[in-house]
């Protein structure tokens, strides 16, 4: 897959401190975009910015709580103030809660929904004002293959990711007349910190891998080309869609 240059474009990636978020921010920077990286852990963001700047790129660290409206608004304002515009938003912030529903507290449920779904709404709304006004832009929501299949002990996470697919379709229709495309990526199991409990436990890893037809977890680098497809002009006539990257787990 040929990588399109994103020179002159400005991107925001939430949940960019580690894992898939960091990998996607790296892909955008490598393609030439100026990148605002947002997460709660400032030290992780600073290290990314240092790496990008040392390679001759442009990046901004913006500590952000995606569940907080004012924090998200500051993130977008800082991006526009620093780079003059925003063209690409990657809604990646997300958390997982693993427990039987009968034992799950309302607070834990609310925390997952607030981070995964409310955070996507707040960031999309804040960045969307600029995208709609300029008549162009890309919103890329990170869902999950868990939105497409029943997974025990993951009710809150699965519900939040399924809702993101519905949100993606709705916003795609609403913003298509304004030249803004809204699509989603739905990753499966990738070898990241989010899944450390899996790839750090040989027995659990073996059980997970048995459920994946490809018989392995994904590498963050395997997500980058699909992100760049949705971030570039090749997807200008594609909106409201989602791409599943899970080694066949959701279709077995």
pLDDT tens per residue across span 76-118: 999 999 999 999 999 999 999 999 999 999 999 999 999 999 9
Query: Mean pLDDT score of the chain, rounded to an integer?
Result: 95
20: pLDDT strictly greater than 60 = yes
Tokens of 78: 């800082």
How confident is the model at residue 171, as a pLDDT?
A: 98
3: pLDDT strictly greater than 80 = no
How confident is the model at residue 57, as a pLDDT?
A: 98
243: pLDDT strictly greater than 70 = yes
Are 12 and 86 in contact by the 8 Å Cβ rule? The answer is yes
How confident is the model at residue 1, as a pLDDT?
A: 55
191-229 pLDDT tens trace: 887 676 776 788 888 998 999 999 999 999 999 999 999
How confident is the model at residue 183, as a pLDDT?
A: 99
Are 98 and 208 in contact by the 8 Å Cβ rule? The answer is no
Which are the catalytic amino acids? 157
CA distances (Å), origin 96, targets 83, 133, 136, 139, 193: 33, 34, 32, 22, 12
- Taking the complete model, does pTM exceed 0.85, yes or no? yes
How confident is the model at residue 192, as a pLDDT?
A: 80
Percentage of residues of the chain with pLDDT beyond 90: 88
Q: Average pLDDT of 143-164? A: 95
Ordered by where they begin, the domains of the chain are 10-251 (3.40.50.720)
Q: Average pLDDT of 129-142? A: 98
How confident is the model at residue 189, as a pLDDT?
A: 92
Tell me which of 72 and 191 has the higher pLDDT: 72
SS (H, E, C) the chain: CCCCCCCCCEEEEECCCCHHHHHHHHHHHHCCCEEEEEECCHHHHHHHHHHHHHCCCCEEEEECCCCCHHHHHHHHHHHHHHHCCCCEEEECCCCCCCCCHHHCCHHHHHHHHHHHHHHHHHHHHHHHHHHHHHCCEEEEEECCHHHCCCCCCCHHHHHHHHHHHHHHHHHHHHHHHHCEEEEEEEECCECCHHHHHHHCCHHHHHHHHHCCCCCCCECHHHCHHHHHHHHCHHHCCCCCCEEEECCCHHHC
22-60 pLDDT tens trace: 999 999 999 999 999 999 989 999 999 999 999 999 999
């Amino acid at each position: 897959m040929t990588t399109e240059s994103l020179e002159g474009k400005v991107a925001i990636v939430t949940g960019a401190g580690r894992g898939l978020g960091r990998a996607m921010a790296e892909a955008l920077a490598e393609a030439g975009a100026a990148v605002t990286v947002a997460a709660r852990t400032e030290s992780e963001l600073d290290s990314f910015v240092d790496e990008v700047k040392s390679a001759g790129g442009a990046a901004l660290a913006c500590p952000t709580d995606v569940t907080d409206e004012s924090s998200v608004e500051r993130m977008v304002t800082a991006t526009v103030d620093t780079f003059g515009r925003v063209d690409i938003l990657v809604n990646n912030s997300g958390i997982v809660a693993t427990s039987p529903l009968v034992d799950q507290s309302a607070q834990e449920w609310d925390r997952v929904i607030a981070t995964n779904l409310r955070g996507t709404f707040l960031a999309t709304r804040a960045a969307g004002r600029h995208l709609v006004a300029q008549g162009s832009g890309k919103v890329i929501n990170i869902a999950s293959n868990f939105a497409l299949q029943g997974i025990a002990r993951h009710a809150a996470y699965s519900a939040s990711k399924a809702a993101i697919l519905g949100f993606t379709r709705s916003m795609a229709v609403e913003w298509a007349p304004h030249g803004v495309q809204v699509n989603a990526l739905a990753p499966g199991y990738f070898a990241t910190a989010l899944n450390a409990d899996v790839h750090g436990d040989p027995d659990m890893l073996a059980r997970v891998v048995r459920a994946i037809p490809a018989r392995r977890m994904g590498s963050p680098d395997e997500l980058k080309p699909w992100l760049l497809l949705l971030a570039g002009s090749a997807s200008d006539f594609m909106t409201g869609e989602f791409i599943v990257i899970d080694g066949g787990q959701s279709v077995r």
